[in-house]
A and B are shown apart, each in its own frame.
Chain A
Amino acid sequence: MVRVKSRYLLCEINVPDRSRLFLLDDRAVAAAVKAAVARMHGDYGAALCSIRFSVKYLNAHTGIVFLRFPKKCYRLLWSALPFITCIETRGQKIECFLNCLHVGGTIRTCQKFLVKYNTQQLHRMLPKCKSEEERSQVREAILKCCLTRGNKQEFGEESDSEDDEEQ
């Protein structure tokens, strides 16, 4: 069976102040990645980027992006990601850097990792909670975060279970 394979890169966008995250949208991130690849790898990189690259999911609250690359050249395109220093959107420049957390073959595996990662983050946040109600809120969110069959919940976000395209 011949199947078109891609690699999904789960990245986190780190910004110094979180309020700027809300201005992001997926087209801005895609443009930033394409520009960085063109700068680093020239015309060859820009051409590779136009094959099957897209931003599959972006969460402006937490700064998580899913990027899709073709399997043949994902390492080359991944190597250009550390050189992104700022993302331009609506005329504003947001200084940030991308941190890759996980590489998966399908969106589903990336989502599973993301659920685990988010529970880890919540566990990290728990000792820092200042008030009792914050603490109970965080505890509730951790307990809700589980992958049940057919009904995936990650803080109430949409689950996108699109698999690789079959040709």
Chain B
Amino acid sequence: MDGNNNDYSAFLSVFHLAKRLPLPAENEHSRPRIDLIVFLMDLRNQHSVETVKASLAYVDVNYFLGKVCFLAVGGRAVKHQSIEMYTLKQLADSYSSPLIPAELESAERRSAIAQRLIQILKVAAGLVPGVSALALSSLITPSFKTETQRC
């Protein structure tokens, strides 16, 4: 509840899961507006990173102004990692979008990440007055950037 007594807790959020982009063209007309795209990448699964990289080509440029978010899963166990977190950070930085490392193993971690994503979604959908998606993403993304070239 904010100062104007508008109850924002009652907005409807629909989560659409897709294995890759582009989404099928048949449902184009009936699909509601997409406010936030979350790309899920697993550090243990190289194929997931390649799929995400291929799908990024199908995202409209305007989404990268704060409506795209990267989620990196599997960073805890060293021994099964095929990708480095650094590579994912480079990818996220090249698209100027935040990278959130997450652990989805336990229920409370899942709910914490879900809460965070819903907050980002509220801002991206324009439901929080005074904060735009671009402003939020520039607050989330730290000021240092990864070097553009691996040495």
Do A and B pair up? The answer is no
B: which residues have CB within 8 A of A? none
A: which residues have CB within 8 A of B? none
